[in-house]
Chains A and B, each alone.
Chain A
Amino acid sequence: MALDDSLEARVERLELPFNEFGVDPYGISKKHLARAAPVLAFFYRHYFRVRCFGCEHVPPRGRAMLVGNHSGGYAVDGAMVLTSMFLEMEPPRLAQGMAEKFINRFPIASLWTSRTGQFTGLPEHARRLLEDDRLLMIFPEGYKGTAKLYNERYSLVDFGTGFMRLALQTRSPIIPFAFLGGGTAVPTVANLYKLGRLFGVPYIPVTPYVFPLPLPTPLEIHYGEPLTFTGTGNEDDEIIVGYVEQVKARIAELIEKGRVRRQERLFL
């Protein structure tokens, strides 16, 4: 079977309520997914040679939140996590990211992100998707996470707390994950914030070779065991922050573990 055929078959096996035009109630489109899949699969399998560990921790169906670290100057991590869920899960799952607001201002990007299920990061979107038993992908560091420079590539910046309240309110398990190698693939040495604002984006990353094109560096994704927290979501901030710190610590552990494993891989 040709590669494209199997990818199309995986799109068909996505458990989403597509209508007769191949569109689900959020506008996710089989046609767009089938066109995006070969590109993403090429980068996943051949360009970045992504290795994925712990997929068995992600529930095959039902609501869940993938919560991880940002790594790389832009959303290479999100694209590869999405691809890992599509290629490695059985049945395939569509991870739906909570994208930055600026993306919808750009033609083409607005269309493709929404047709592939990546919606503006609004709490209402996240809640609705979880209530519909979707798989949500969240980077609680926000754009400050992607703005990490090369020497900060394994660090974590402050996490937002909204995802934790949402997890409690919707009783969703959190699957922590570590994404490794993004900082090497896009080795950012500086971020141009003022220039970015001119173009309507938070910043423009600069690499030693100027343009932020990703290098073909091996990447790794490590999914951890699900974390479940009990509560209503209306708890005091200090309780929520405590829960968030637990998730952050777990992600830091996964990063450290993966870092050792990845270094061995790179030097073998």
Chain B
Amino acid sequence: MRVLILGIAGGIARKLATRLLASGHEVLGLDARPWTGAPRSIEIHRMDVRKRAAEDIFRRRRPDAVVHMATVTAFSLKGGERERINLDGTKAVFDHCRDHGVKQVLFVGRHTFYGAAPDSLLYHTEDEPPRALDKVPELADLVAADLYAATALWRFPEMTTAVLRLCYTLGAPGTGTLVSFLRGRRVPMVLGYDPLFQVLQEEDVVTALQLALEKRIRGIFNVAGPPPMPLSVIIRETGRTPIPLPSTLLAWLLGRIGLPTLSRGALDHIKYPIVADTRQFREATGFQYAYDEGRLLRVFREAAPLPGR
């Protein structure tokens, strides 16, 4: 099938493109960022999906399936532009898909949608509403994009839409929220808390996305890997040192003295767990992770050594 990947210059999107190509699919991509060294057989268009020219790609190339990974987090971009990319971009994607006969769309969202709170469920299922968003305004546009994508399930019944809520990813060397958090030698924790984190190796993410495409699943699905682990285990097993600090002190120190930046509201994400129930996805696709928790952390540890070593 002809697959158009939006946000193809991102780390996981590149791996997905390469894997789909190797599996015999035709792959094209669209991104405002460059992908130098991309395989020649992948047709790449460097542009913003919200621009007029992007629609021409849909019109001319008529992709069978679209993978929408062109959303950004507060880590990579601040303020109004992030909201415009996430919300206006997602609307443009679904409009183009509807107008140009795309049969299948995958929206790649995040499990942080469910929010972290002291009284929330340990395992979140897909039918839950987003919670605790008032505490993390930086997440609001991503959640809105996720909910907008989900409306395609009833607005465009002729299209097979799947909204995937992915847990944190760890690759080699990897990109993403958790990788940014683990980049230093010392990793902060909130004193007296040690939440469970769900992690999926990037190769397994690619497998999950490919399965979602090839099995043509429809609906909302949580995607995660091995059972969750305490944050302290992830920090130690990746060769870092956990630094437990009182909540208020940590809020002040984040982004200083070499500690990672984290929005104040996102502190709850390192106090309380956000764990997704993945039974629906496994039943729909037969997905099985290849990297268990030990292998996953060892691979990251070897690929992302401590700074200064």
Contacts and interface: CB of A to CB of B under 8 A. Distances in A.
Interface in A2-37: 17, 19-21, 23-27, 29
B293 A19 contact: yes
B196 A27 contact: yes
Contact of A111 (B119, B192, B228): B192
Interface residues of A, number: 26
Nearest to A104: B118
A125 to B, nearest CB: 6
Contacts of A27: 122, 196, 228, 230, 273
Contacts of B118: 101, 104-105, 110, 120
B255 interface: no
Contact of B123 (A21, A104, A107, A128): A128
B119 A25 contact: no
B237 interface: yes
B193 A107 contact: yes
Interface string A203-239: 0000000000000000000000000000000000000
Interface in A88-142: 101, 104-111, 115, 119-120, 122, 124-125, 128
A258 B305 CA distance: 61
Contacts of B265: none
Nearest to A105: B118
Given A23-B233, A122-B121, A125-B122, A108 B228 contact: no
Nearest to A19: B293
B97 to A, nearest CB: 35
A21 B294 contact: yes
B233 A107 contact: no
Interface in B222-246: 226-230, 233, 237
A125 B233 contact: no
Contacts of B191: 107
A27 B304 CA distance: 26
Most buried by A among B122, B193, B229: B122
Interface in B272-290: 272-273
B267 interface: no
Given A27-B196, A108-B192, A21 B122 contact: no
Contact of A25 (B228, B237, B271, B294): B228
Contacts of B12: none
B194 interface: yes
B190 interface: yes
A101 B192 CA distance: 17
A101 B120 CA distance: 9
A124 B196 contact: no
A261 B291 CA distance: 56
Contacts of A125: 121-122
A23 B292 CA distance: 13
B229 A23 contact: yes
A124 B292 CA distance: 26
A197 to B, nearest CB: 16
A107 B59 CA distance: 55
Interface in B198-238: 226-230, 233, 237
Nearest to B295: A20
Contacts of A119: 122
Contacts of A26: 122
Given A21-B294, A124-B123, 14 more contacts: A19-B226, A19-B292, A21-B233, A21-B293, A24-B227, A27-B122, A27-B230, A104-B118, A104-B119, A110-B192, A111-B194, A115-B194, A122-B121, A125-B121
Name the 7 nearest CB pairs between A and B, nearest first. A107-B192, A104-B118, A25-B227, A108-B192, A101-B119, A27-B196, A105-B118
Interface of B: 118-119, 121-123, 190-194, 196, 226-230, 233, 237, 247, 271-273, 292-294
16 contacts: A21-B229, A25-B228, A27-B122, A27-B228, A27-B230, A27-B273, A104-B119, A104-B272, A106-B192, A107-B192, A107-B247, A110-B192, A110-B193, A111-B193, A122-B121, A124-B123
Interface of A: 17, 19-21, 23-27, 29, 101, 104-111, 115, 119-120, 122, 124-125, 128
